[in-house]
Amino acid sequence: MDPLKNYSEGYFFHCNETDFTLDYSGMVENKEKLLTSHSDLVNLALDTVQKIEKGEIVNKTEVTQESENRAVDHYNLRMEKELVEGKSLSISLKYNAKIVEEITPILKGELRAPNGQKYTDVIFNGIGGSSLGPYMLVISQYGIDYNTLSGLPMKIHFTSNTDPDSFSHLIKKLDLNTTILVSISKSGTTSETKGNLEAFTQILKDQGIEKIGPHMIAITTADSLLDKFAKKNQFLASYVMNVETGGRTSICSAVGMVPAAFAQINFEEFLKGQSVMDKMTRRTEVSENPAMIISLAIEELTHKEKHKNMIMLCYSDFLKEFPNYLQQLYMESIGKNYDIFGKTKHEGQTIFGGVGTMVQHAFMQQVQKGIKDCFVRFLNFRKRKSDFLVESSGSMGRQLLGFVKGTESALTKNNVPFFTTTFKMNNPFNVGMMVALEERIVTFIGAFRQINCYDQPGVQAGKLACKHFNALSKIVLNNLIEYFSNENNSFTGEAKKYFLQFAKTQEKQEFSEKEILGDSIFVDALLSDLDANIEIDKSYNELKKLITIERVMKDNKFIYTITKK
């Protein structure tokens, strides 16, 4: 491959209307071959998009236990035509306008908290796409100092991980009398989101705030458990998303609309940007379809050199969270072990990155001189909003551009493949285009490889195991309380011994060897947590009154001694 020669021969796509440019001179060996020799893949990909946009059931595989058997609608939510009833760009714009109309009185202080004061803070409570998308959107507009430099009428906060230390840090700096928690969960049963909501509800009540509704907003599907809880407790609002909208592609729904309304981001422009890119990437002519060019180039490289990591270098601090957003979009979508026909097929697309030039100092040495396990994608804006004089380069903006072009040149010399995508400027319209481009690439690659990009059985497996851990923990702890509330004074042993003694219920008295081995690991973790945190308020309040616990390592096993106080 000769990127310099390719550049001179026009290995580009450019859209005059939006000033978007894709430079693939560093990624493709033969432009003619790329554009004309993959008709079967192209037809397969475009057919998949047509099926999605017609509302056909595409979220399915022949592996029934992993199949969700439903349509996928994120493209329809910003499509000019209403191919599926009730779903189109105009309908989404109307719903967004409704949300803005209802949020604005909160921001202006026309709708006030129960104590008569203006609402001051809003917390967005979600996990996965329900967090990564909104957070990326806010950062893209205001940068990391969105609460200090944006001048927004309410301060914005995010909570996703069930980390009690960070949650405590957040709660301590807020006046909960004037705080709103926005919980985002399609099912209403997402463990992390539900747990944070339950904790927030209890904290409100502990502070004497019995009516939680004026401090809550929900984003969920109609009649979900969260929607019912919202109506029962008279939340400020419960905004609806569709069952067919997957979490990692939900930013074009109420999941993005509500945070954008609080952050005063022009979400209408974001949706229009997505719609424009969707239209661009429906084109049947490969040379006029940037998502198809990128997808085919990745596929060619994969067939030639096997799977390669994708490194995304974003040359704007405002795109700091974009690679994190893309990690879920790509890895949850393409990381599968079955094709749609139920045949074992291990696929994936590892992606990592960050802000150039910062992350270049983290891993560019290996990319340039170490193992050849990746390709690089550059993402930058052509037009900047400000600049500063720099003696060595003339201006700070030109210095940043110099790092883009200089790194491209270094990759060329070291035979590392790369793309460069350049958008006109950083605004909601172009960020919408950026997101839509990546969503389409994911759809195309999934179609090429005949996998279902819209389920996530691996994530679900972890959720189910967590649910089992929580249930087992309650059984063991309740049995410990009962044991030491009677005449028993001590118990000593490894986790397996504790499991066999304290995991029994009236319904289950015997365990298989597999259950004993697997669940003993869970019990070991529980006992270790009990040892470390028994004195922490609200962790183990009942047991704290009853027992002391000591953990020691003996013969490569932890031995726990519990003694009655």
Residue 217, H or E segment: strand 216-220
Among 294, 253, 263, 473, residue whose Cα is nearest residue 377: 294
CA–CA separation, 41 and 163 (whole Å) = 44
Phi, then psi, of 37 in degrees rounded to 5:
-105, 10
* Residue 304 a catalytic site member: no
- Catalytic-labelled residue, pool 346, 361, 514, 565: 361
CA–CA separation, 68 and 436 (whole Å) = 23
The amino acid sitting at 540 is Y
CA–CA separation, 301 and 311 (whole Å) = 14
CA–CA separation, 329 and 312 (whole Å) = 13
* Residue 361 a catalytic site member: yes
CB 447, CB 337: distance < 8 Å? no
CA dist list (Å): 231 to 98, 151, 181, 182: 19, 33, 15, 14
- Catalytic-labelled residue, pool 31, 157, 228, 463: 463
CA dist list (Å): 295 to 357, 431, 440: 26, 20, 9
CA dist list (Å): 52 to 8, 57, 73, 241, 269: 38, 7, 7, 17, 23
Q: Map residue 15 onto helix, strand or coil.
A: strand
CB 24, CB 419: distance < 8 Å? yes
| CB within 8 Å of 181: residues ≥ 6 apart | 122, 123, 125, 196, 197, 200, 215, 216, 217
For tokens 């927004």, name the residue.
152
Q: Map residue 130 onto helix, strand or coil.
A: helix
CA dist list (Å): 528 to 164, 481, 494, 504, 520: 17, 17, 11, 20, 12
For tokens 């000591």, name the residue.
550
* Residue 332 a catalytic site member: yes
DSSP string, 413-460: HTT--EEEEEES-SSHHHHHHHHHHHHHHHHHHHHHTT--TT--HHHH
- Catalytic-labelled residue, pool 68, 300, 332, 438: 332
Q: Map residue 54 onto helix, strand or coil.
A: coil
Residue 42, H or E segment: helix 39-53
CB 13, CB 287: distance < 8 Å? yes
Catalytic residues: 332, 361, 463
